[in-house]
Structure 1
Amino acid sequence: MSDDMEVRRRRAQWRAGHRGTKELDLLVGRFAEATIAGMSEADLAHFEQFLAVSDPDLQAWLLGPERAEAGAFGDVVGEIRKFHGLG
């Protein structure tokens, strides 16, 4: 694995666990801890884009009925919800 990928993985994992709200820190951070090491470069790039979304949108997608509106990130939202047993 290249050093660049390792740096990106660590940076993404830190960003996932330091969202600014406890709920998102736990949901997104624990998901990242468990899965980020196995992500391909394309999956990591997609996850990094997901992390750039605003906290209110992420919280609505992960915890509310708005999850159907996650658009391009519906796959990530679904994986996180499944990981935490949220259906």
Structure 2
Amino acid sequence: MTEPRDIRIKRLAMRSMRRGIKEMDLILSDFASRELSNMSDADLDHYEIFMEEADLDLYQWISGQTEAPDQFKELVARISVSAKGLTAPRQ
């Protein structure tokens, strides 16, 4: 049985706000509230794969401390735009 789109978006939004690292909770819940409902099903698939990554890796990619893997560069760039002020500045 396929999960209805609205339920999937709610599930991903909840996963975005309950990450474990407070900074990632703030960054991803903000992104999710603005973007998930406008994403295509393929984009939601990609976001779901992205969400499987470790919080520390996600934070380092979004804050620019390390480079994101090629498969996530575009998504990380989209998230990073709104994460200004929530991430540590590059050294």
Q: TM-score range by the shorter chain?
A: 0.7 to 0.9
**Residue of structure 2 in register with 1:37 after alignment:** 37
> Take 1:82 and 1:51, find their aligned partners in 2: how far apart are those partners?
18
State the shift of 1:69 in Å.
3.3
**Residue of structure 2 in register with 1:59 after alignment:** 59
Higher mean displacement: 56-65 or 30-39: 56-65
CA contact (8 A) 2:61 2:76 kept: yes
5+ residue gaps, structure 2, are 86-91
Q: For 2:32, give the aligned amino acid.
A: A
State the shift of 1:65 in Å.
2.2
Structure 2 CA distance for partners of 1:72 and 1:3, relative to 1, 3 Å: closer
TM-score (norm 1): 0.86
1:82 aligns with 2:81: yes
> Take 1:3 and 1:25, find their aligned partners in 2: how far apart are those partners?
24
Number of matched pairs: 84
Percent identity of equivalent pairs: 32
CA contact (8 A) 1:17 1:25 kept: yes
5+ residue gaps, structure 1, are none
SS at match of 2:4: helix
State the shift of 1:39 in Å.
0.7
Higher helix share: 1
Higher mean displacement: 77-86 or 24-33: 77-86
CA contact (8 A) 2:68 2:76 kept: no
**Residue of structure 1 in register with 2:25 after alignment:** 25
